Amino acid sequence: MRSKESVDYEHPAQGPDHCGECEHFIAPEACEFVEGSIAAGDWCELFEAENPVMAELREAGITPTREAVIDAEWGSSVPDPWTLEHELELPEEVQDFSWLDKEVEGRPHPGAVNDEDPPEIPGREQSRNSDSK
């Protein structure tokens, strides 16, 4: 953990960005990197804007799960097949690589590395062939 002094902490924030919109803010009054009580209206040099889709889901009272983010990002146009590149477009906190190296429709999924089922993708039916490896 870093001290407020070491990150040029501002109370209150002097500019348009503030902790309440930061990736590192932990509501109601904490930060994953700065020690002590952190107000949502404060700011420091570690500020990193929260992913807008994640912020919109939270503001709407929706838990930003992987499935909710995929639905918000792609809706009924979810890419098929789902690839590693698509997974990497998701915010890190909801990425799930457990599906890699799992067979889908009798074929290994691109980049697959284990036997776990691919995660559900909203808006798309997935067929799984559990008998073949």
- What pLDDT is attached to residue 2? 97
Domain boundaries, the chain: 1-50, 52-108
Rounded to an integer, what distance in angstroms lies between the CA atom of residue 61 and that of residue 68? 12
Rounded to an integer, what distance in angstroms lies between the CA atom of residue 117 and that of residue 84? 15
CA atoms within 13 A on the CB side of 79: 11
- What pLDDT is attached to residue 97? 86
- What pLDDT is attached to residue 105? 57
Please, which residues bridge with residue 34 across strands?
Answer: 2
Would you give per-residue pLDDT tens digits along the chain (133 residues)? 999 999 999 999 999 999 998 989 998 999 999 999 999 999 999 999 988 898 888 889 898 899 999 999 998 898 888 888 999 999 888 998 887 766 555 655 544 444 455 556 555 454 434 343 3
**What's this model's pTM, rounded to 2 decimal places?**
0.53
